[in-house]
Structure 1
Amino acid sequence: MTGKRRAVVAGATTLVLLGSGIGVAQAAPAPGAISLVAATKSVIAERYVGDEGSGIYLDLGVNVIAGKSPLEIRTTRTSYQSKIVARQIVTKNGKKTAVKLPAGSVSDFSGLRNFTTITIKNSAGKVVKKYQTDFCPNTYDSVRTRRDAPAQTPYPRYCAGRTSEGGNPFLLGSVWGIQAGWNAGINPMPTNGKAFDLAAGKYQVSVALNPAYRKFFKVPVKSATASVAVTVVNVTPEQKAASAAAVAPKTTPGGHNHGEGDESAQISDYLPQFRAPASRPTAAKVAPKTGPRPDLRSLPAWGISLEKGRNETTGQVNGRWYVNFGATVWNAGSSPLLVDGFRRTGSELMDAYQYVFDAKGKQVGSFAAGTMEWDKREGHKHWHFTDFARYDLLKADKKLAVRSGKEAFCLANTDAVDYTLKSAKWRPENTDLSTACGGNTAVAVREVLDIGNGDTYSQDRPGQSFDVTGLANGTYYIRVKANPVGKLSELSTKNNISYRKIVLGGTKTARTLSVPAVYGIRG
């Protein structure tokens, strides 16, 4: 979320590749950038058959392998009204050049459109299925495929904005890539969302890189196709359940979620990482005025909905109305926001300190930045930093109508917002509550918001949403304000506030909500 009237413009300066020392060229990239490789010559695909129908998921084991150099693509938009543009980043003689991909390669941030064509023939050689699939170079399970490949990959694990499912619609720039000698599995299923099925039997499946990409990446014909024999077998629900039970893990760690509906389960079932005890720093009276700093920006509220209030015990409707929404504050600065909390002995309160770094990443100082408090409520049970953001519902004249009950936060890198920023962290470590918030036995906690990443809270519970029961029909604004009392040091505070217009209507028993688009986005 960004500043009032400049939520988009604030991020636009980061989208010019030339500003990152990357030139723009029209020449094609180096030959042999990628190849298609099948991990095996044949696979067995289970077709699940039950009372509600049948369906199949193909795992062909066909991968895109990067050659001697990484495959790196940056997708950006100069504003939310602009089209998304994809460019390959090519390094030659130590100089990086950005080469625009063919028209139609992208329509959103989910991946390359119509990247491959999959053709399925039955045992008689007749084509029974033929379709195109999109491709995301960022895959969670990417590994190196040859001994001399680099030991690590810098590229993100997902193409879309969120490090978990879903995500805010205000992504500005992303980075897709496959490390040299590493892999990314192709999508074997149609991308049109329609149900997919194949009868039990034997098939030959071919995967071909589509001509526009084969030409652009200069992939030889023999490296642009792969073929796999597929045997489809029927599996009943009983067989599926037995198979799942046999391989089910004994425990399940917590996953990504800042929606807070299931955080207590995550924290109790998964021992969170927290900072080892350290000497309490001597706080500077005034934050240093020079050097790298975070820059907190608020995105417009999103995922906005109207919900009837319910009794938490009985689940019965109680006559109240709530506006739920998601809120994202992100870091567009030149340094991560790093806040350490040090517990006051015998209490459930920590003193919080922001740490600052020089241009080489060396820690050069710290200063007091408020407090962290232990939230013992069900659905929380972790440490909250109290001075990160504030949510308000304003009347049409921008005067306060309702203040959200959410006033403290656990910082986590839940969403990518602009990975084309210089020094953006593409693979952040603390992406969920279990890695960032600490348990009640913690003596110290570290909470971080990395460059290019956002921290999202979905306001989906009464007490964290706006209670609009007694409000008159009309226009209101959801205001999100980062660093609300100015305790954090950042590059600018002029972009800390965002507004999102909503309109309440209807009657006392049947209220309505409309949310006008902002910057052409209805999310």
Structure 2
Amino acid sequence: MTAHRSSRSSPRLLTMGVAAVLALGLLGEGAATDVASASTVPTTTPAARELAAAQPGLRFAPASKTVEAYAYDGYVYLDSGVWLAAYGEGYEFWAKRAKPSDPVTLTKTVIRGEKRTTKKAPAKIVDGFNGFKRGLTVQVVDAKGNVLTKKTRSLCLGGEERQRVEPTGNTEPIYPMWCGGNWFTNATVSGIEQGWASRLDTYFEVKTTRTNLRMTVSISDPVANFLGLPADARSVSQRVKVVDECGFVDCGEMGAALLGQPDEGFSSLAEGEPTAQEERRQAHTSGGHAGSGDTTRPTHRTNLFTLRNEHQEHGGDHPALGQPGSKPSTKAPAMDTLPDLVSVPAWEIGTERNGRTDRLTFNAHEWNAGPAPLVVEGYRRGAGEVMDAYQFFYRDGKEVGSARTGTMKYHAAPEHDHWHFLDFAKYELVKPDGSLVTTSGKQSWCLAPTDPVDLSVPGATWRPDAIGLDSTCGDRSALWLREVLPAGWGDTYSQYQTQAFKLNGVPNGTYQIKITVNPRGALHERTESNNVSYRTVVLGGSAGKRTVKVPPYQGVDTENIRW
């Protein structure tokens, strides 16, 4: 698993990191203490729940009338703590397109008991897979009403956090807690279940030393009209209490701890942990194999058996607790227990210079079109740093078989320091006639779902974090590990430095980046017809100044898309 590419933190980024740690460590759950709702009845009272039963729909659910912000180095960092809750009925949103060159369409389905009502969103309020275009605005004013900042962003109803607001709601949230996609994404789903609330993305900063502030969070009229929010309930205003954290914390020491030690030229936190902002960014952007399963720490898992109903048959690749294992066999597994591995053409292609070496960098992605998950487990072979890999097969959440499928090895490089599966993919630079020019240094993988590709395929998992089949890359002492690629999801790796193509001695001209998934046929899958992809590149320049041009792929300029 490659490290997430970034540059060394600037003092400005350090400031954000310090503020995040201060907020998490000092403000805690009591950060927001007392937020004025646009509705006449506070949403947390029994009366509000009675009103919700009589008037179902979406409405703001602020946690308090006052939000506590924190000041550091001339900036104030705010997060309103405002939620959007679904009372009496649920809301499901599908973003889809037939192919990458098509515009994304967005539909809303209101679910009230057994009744489902679907409506298509006007194209002008759709921001691709990111949610509703310019749907959310946050404004901060001082005591005299002067506007200090006003920011508008897309409204994602996937949210960054979920909380239950009605006892009749599902025991766990169903929908993914994010919005977004990549150039190859075809279908994603988001929503707010009946009886649940989604926290709105209202975290931001404002440069000011003033302490008497008020912030207002609002949903634009075009988006609110589509969502069905009443005209008098489309904004929430809160008083902001600003706290200077450095008055009782040594921010200098905190900043030094945040920067940590450089790792191959990139900054890292003291214990390798991302800041809250980095986690937020990773959750809303794609690429770089960011933050998905690259850990041995326990994470919250839920049993999706409790979430199923006749309308949502998803999440079927989680195991029932305590079920017996299967005996490895050479018998061909049933087709309905197999994944379908697909190679996606390379993107984010560029050049870099390392010492005296020119390299061609790129992103590589392979995904699982289902209907079953790809599950690979490693079992340590004695005391050596080698594991025997087995592929496991699932049907309706139950393990039904396994087969030997390859090898895993421990990768001790500083940016890895975990176990890799050796038989997943192969990256080659070839001439137009197919003859090999060079091979990527990337020869092993720790699989994990980083990007949604098509959550409408049969067997697709909506919440990989909750399936109970976690991807774990393991540490040096591991005896066993499991790597998973759920149906509907793919894994992105950024190829740079020694993992990129070496260009020394490669003449200028036209070439293709060839990406092959399951190159040895070691993994069982439904078909190998879609295992290879090609991306044309045109190399130019001179030694130390190599250039690359990337023609559009099927009408899509993947290099200039802004997500």
Q: What TM-score do the two structures reach when normalised by structure 2?
A: 0.73
Are 1:436 and 2:472 counterparts?
Answer: yes
The aligned residue for residue 95 of structure 2 is 75
The aligned residue for residue 3 of structure 1 is none
Aligned structure 1 segments of 4 or more residues deviating by more than 6 angstroms = 233-240, 245-251, 260-263, 275-280
Following TM superposition, by how much is the alpha carbon of 1:407 offset from its aligned partner in structure 2, in angstroms? 1.8
The aligned residue for residue 58 of structure 2 is 34
For 2:150 and 2:362, the matched residues in 1 are separated by: 41
User: Aligned letter for 2:415?
Assistant: G
2:377 pairs with one of 326, 334, 340 = 340
For 1:284 and 1:37, the matched residues in 2 are separated by: 54
1:136 pairs with one of 133, 144, 156 = 156
Tell me the alpha carbon deviations over residues 385-437 of structure 1, each in whole angstroms, 9 at most, x when there is no partner.
12111111111222111111222211111222222333322221399xx9521
Relative distance call for 1:421 and 1:223 in structure 2 (3 A) is farther
The aligned residue for residue 476 of structure 1 is 511
Matches within 5 A, 1:231-270: 231=241, 241=251, 252=271, 254=273, 259=288
Note if contact 1:31-1:218 (Cα within 8 Å) is conserved in structure 2.
Answer: no
Secondary structure in 1 aligned to 2:61? strand
More off after superposition, 225-234 vs 169-178: 225-234
1:349 pairs with one of 380, 386, 399 = 386
Following TM superposition, by how much is the alpha carbon of 1:240 offset from its aligned partner in structure 2, in angstroms? 7.9
User: Aligned letter for 1:217?
Assistant: L
Matches within 5 A, 1:33-52: 33-49=57-73
For 1:261 and 1:88, the matched residues in 2 are separated by: 30
Relative distance call for 1:497 and 1:57 in structure 2 (3 A) is same
The aligned residue for residue 125 of structure 2 is 105
The aligned residue for residue 172 of structure 2 is 152
The aligned residue for residue 193 of structure 2 is 179
Following TM superposition, by how much is the alpha carbon of 1:236 offset from its aligned partner in structure 2, in angstroms? 7.5
Secondary structure in 2 aligned to 1:156? coil
Relative distance call for 1:234 and 1:297 in structure 2 (3 A) is same
For 1:245 and 1:458, the matched residues in 2 are separated by: 29
Matches within 5 A, 1:110-129: 110-118=130-138, 120-125=140-145
Gaps of 5+ in 1: 1-29, 162-167, 310-316
Secondary structure in 2 aligned to 1:300? strand
Tell me the alpha carbon deviations over residues 24-83 of structure 1, each in whole angstroms, 9 at most, x when there is no partner.
xxxxxx97321013222123444544xxxx444332222211222332211111111111
The aligned residue for residue 331 of structure 1 is 368
For 2:458 and 2:349, the matched residues in 1 are separated by: 32
Following TM superposition, by how much is the alpha carbon of 1:171 offset from its aligned partner in structure 2, in angstroms? 1.9
Answer 1 or 2: higher relative contact order, Cα 8 Å, separation at least 6: 1
The aligned residue for residue 497 of structure 1 is 532
Note if contact 2:61-2:197 (Cα within 8 Å) is conserved in structure 1.
Answer: no
The aligned residue for residue 213 of structure 1 is 223
Tell me the alpha carbon deviations over residues 466-508 of structure 1, each in whole angstroms, 9 at most, x when there is no partner.
1111111101111111111112221221111111111111123
The aligned residue for residue 427 of structure 1 is 463
1:284 pairs with one of 329, 332, 338 = 329
Relative distance call for 1:423 and 1:280 in structure 2 (3 A) is closer
Secondary structure in 2 aligned to 1:57? strand
Relative distance call for 1:510 and 1:435 in structure 2 (3 A) is same
User: Aligned letter for 1:183?
Assistant: A
Following TM superposition, by how much is the alpha carbon of 1:85 offset from its aligned partner in structure 2, in angstroms? 0.9
Aligned length: 463
User: Aligned letter for 2:237?
Assistant: S
Relative distance call for 1:203 and 1:381 in structure 2 (3 A) is closer
Tell me the alpha carbon deviations over residues 262-301 of structure 1, each in whole angstroms, 9 at most, x when there is no partner.
99xx76xx5589x999999643324235323211111111
Q: What TM-score do the two structures reach when normalised by structure 1?
A: 0.78
Relative distance call for 1:254 and 1:493 in structure 2 (3 A) is farther
For 1:416 and 1:458, the matched residues in 2 are separated by: 17
Matches within 5 A, 1:332-411: 332-358=369-395, 360-411=396-447
Note if contact 1:476-1:502 (Cα within 8 Å) is conserved in structure 2.
Answer: yes
Relative distance call for 1:118 and 1:254 in structure 2 (3 A) is closer
Are 1:90 and 2:110 counterparts?
Answer: yes
For 1:247 and 1:149, the matched residues in 2 are separated by: 42
Secondary structure in 1 aligned to 2:389? strand
Following TM superposition, by how much is the alpha carbon of 1:199 offset from its aligned partner in structure 2, in angstroms? 5.8
For 2:85 and 2:511, the matched residues in 1 are separated by: 51
User: Aligned letter for 2:128?
Assistant: D
Provide the alpha-carbon RMSD of the alignment: 3.7
The aligned residue for residue 26 of structure 1 is none
Relative distance call for 1:413 and 1:430 in structure 2 (3 A) is farther
The aligned residue for residue 502 of structure 2 is 467
The aligned residue for residue 223 of structure 1 is 233
For 2:257 and 2:328, the matched residues in 1 are separated by: 52
Note if contact 1:272-1:438 (Cα within 8 Å) is conserved in structure 2.
Answer: no
User: Aligned letter for 1:475?
Assistant: T
For 1:77 and 1:510, the matched residues in 2 are separated by: 39
Following TM superposition, by how much is the alpha carbon of 1:455 offset from its aligned partner in structure 2, in angstroms? 1.1
User: Aligned letter for 2:103?
Assistant: K
For 1:278 and 1:58, the matched residues in 2 are separated by: 46
Note if contact 2:88-2:112 (Cα within 8 Å) is conserved in structure 1.
Answer: no
For 2:253 and 2:64, the matched residues in 1 are separated by: 23
Note if contact 2:326-2:400 (Cα within 8 Å) is conserved in structure 1.
Answer: no
Are 1:57 and 2:93 counterparts?
Answer: no
1:294 pairs with one of 328, 339, 342 = 339
Secondary structure in 1 aligned to 2:487? coil
The aligned residue for residue 455 of structure 1 is 491
Tell me the alpha carbon deviations over residues 88-127 of structure 1, each in whole angstroms, 9 at most, x when there is no partner.
1233553545321233222222221222444555434566
More off after superposition, 129-138 vs 118-127: 118-127
Note if contact 1:505-1:512 (Cα within 8 Å) is conserved in structure 2.
Answer: yes
Secondary structure in 1 aligned to 2:164? coil
User: Aligned letter for 2:482?
Assistant: R
Following TM superposition, by how much is the alpha carbon of 1:328 offset from its aligned partner in structure 2, in angstroms? 0.8
**Which has more helix, going by share of residues?**
2
